[in-house]
Amino acid sequence: MDPVAARLTVSDACLELAGSLGDFSPKDALAVSGRLRREGHAPELVAAAMSLAELRREARPRLGDAVDTMVFHRAGLEQASRAVVSTLHAERFADAGCTAVADLTAGLGADARAVAARGLGVVAFEADEATAILAAHNLAPWPAARVVHGDSLVLLADADVDGVFADPARRNARGRRHDPSDYSPPLDAVLDLASRYRALGVKAGPSLPHEAVPAGFEAEWVSVDGDVVEVGLWAGAAARREGHAALVVRGGVRHEIAGPTDRAPAGALGEHLLEPDGAVIRAGLVGVLAESLGARLVDPSIAYLTADAPVVTPFARAYRVLERLPLDVKVLAKELRARDIGTVDIKKRGVDLTPEQLRPRLKLRGTGRATLVLTRLEGRHAALLVEPVPG
């Protein structure tokens, strides 16, 4: 989006027209556009209002009803933190005793809004002019929040803040950037700010290698309803511990686990299989989870746990093992047909065969449904017929 389009988006005319559209269905877009033009609205205004209404609809599951007063462009929406995650970030700075926070990579202002809502001052830096225009609108309800268009690392020295937050860009025209030195701004440049401020927080991609976490920082991998969304790097008063942690948010309820990153011991398959949450795996805390549950790895190289007694935990999905089978298509097809299975949910870890490759080869026509886990047991490929444990 260019600055001219951004100014049109935040104009009273566009905001009023977009608000009148509500969450219109995409299939009605042509009819809605035609109606608005017949009512005398300029084509460029219609396009801007319809785009804003569509983006608000797409943003609602992630940001909630706050979208009704916010403005967006697509690239910014794709990078915006979910509301629950922005709240977590803001809580860190409030608990750290900060009075004002600099957001070095404000984007559309989702994180800055959450910090401002906690009563803290906010200086939101944004390098892109159009995005800065939209962010200024999104932060307008908070007088203590302001948007600065420019290079945050250059302008930060003049900001009167005691906390710093950054969500470095991890994507360019060629796709996602996995090397932290390719982040914008570079991750090391942001982490170097830790000694200068009361609290520092950085949102990084969940695939961040463990060796990229500096000594003395807390690294907390976060998953929301099964989706690993980030690793937060925290320093100073914003850090609650040193080392690794995993925060699992399910149905709005938070569960946290932390500790050393040692691997769990492996052992024989028990009556129950546990699939650790992705945040626990990314944080390297499968060993901590195993110890707390009295469980063990099914194989030294696989992040599935097994236990002899039923286990219910927010940090893993639990299954009861019905049968262990060889990873052989003919055998699997025969066993599933004998159980009248027509639909199979396939999970895999440690094997090359994909669900997309296996499912059509089974040629199932039954009426039942089953879950099949393809993995390694004691160094060998195997298939497990399992059923989810309630809870």
Whether 46 and 106 share a structural domain: no
Q: Which residues pair with 384 in a beta bridge?
A: 324, 373
The CATH number of the domain holding residue 199 is: 3.40.50.150
Other beta carbons less than 10 A from residue 14's beta carbon: 25
- Return d(Cα 121, Cα 105) in angstroms, integer: 16
Q: What mean pLDDT comes out for the span 207-233?
A: 94
Other beta carbons less than 10 A from residue 357's beta carbon: 11
- pLDDT higher than 70, residue 174: no
Mean pLDDT across the chain: 92
Whether residue 261 lies inside any domain: the answer is no
**Stretch among 89-98, 178-187, 264-273, 338-347 having the lowest mean pLDDT:** 178-187
**Stretch among 81-95, 157-171, 268-282 having the lowest mean pLDDT:** 157-171
C-alpha angle 182-184-186 in degrees, rounded to nearest 5: 60
Give the domain-ending residue among 256, 284, 319. Answer: 256
Residues 73-100 have pLDDT tens digits of 998 998 888 999 999 999 999 999 999 9
Whole-prediction pTM = 0.89
Whether residue 365 lies inside any domain: the answer is yes
Whole domain around residue 167: which residue ranges? 77-256
**Amino acid occupying residue 275:** E
Whether residue 267 lies inside any domain: the answer is no
- Return d(Cα 36, Cα 8) in angstroms, integer: 17
Residues 106-146 have pLDDT tens digits of 999 999 999 999 999 999 999 999 999 999 999 999 999 99
Whether 13 and 101 share a structural domain: no
Whether 188 and 322 share a structural domain: no
Whether residue 307 lies inside any domain: the answer is yes
- Return d(Cα 184, Cα 181) in angstroms, integer: 8
- Return d(Cα 375, Cα 391) in angstroms, integer: 24
- Return d(Cα 313, Cα 179) in angstroms, integer: 34
Looking at the chain, the whole-number percentage of residues with pLDDT higher than 90 is 81
Whether 53 and 103 share a structural domain: no
Whether 103 and 157 share a structural domain: yes
Residues 56-68 have pLDDT tens digits of 999 999 999 999 9
Whether 127 and 246 share a structural domain: yes
Please give the pLDDT value at position 173: 45
Give the domain-ending residue among 231, 256, 281. Answer: 256
Give the domain-ending residue among 63, 93, 114. Answer: 63
DSSP element (H, E) containing 318:
strand 316-325
Whether 137 and 232 share a structural domain: yes
- β-strands 243-250, 218-224 pairing: parallel
Whether residue 132 lies inside any domain: the answer is yes
Contact 89, 122 (CB under 8 A): no
Total structural domains in the chain? 3
- Return d(Cα 247, Cα 253) in angstroms, integer: 10
Whether 87 and 27 share a structural domain: no
Whether 226 and 92 share a structural domain: yes
Whether residue 19 lies inside any domain: the answer is yes
Whether 51 and 99 share a structural domain: no
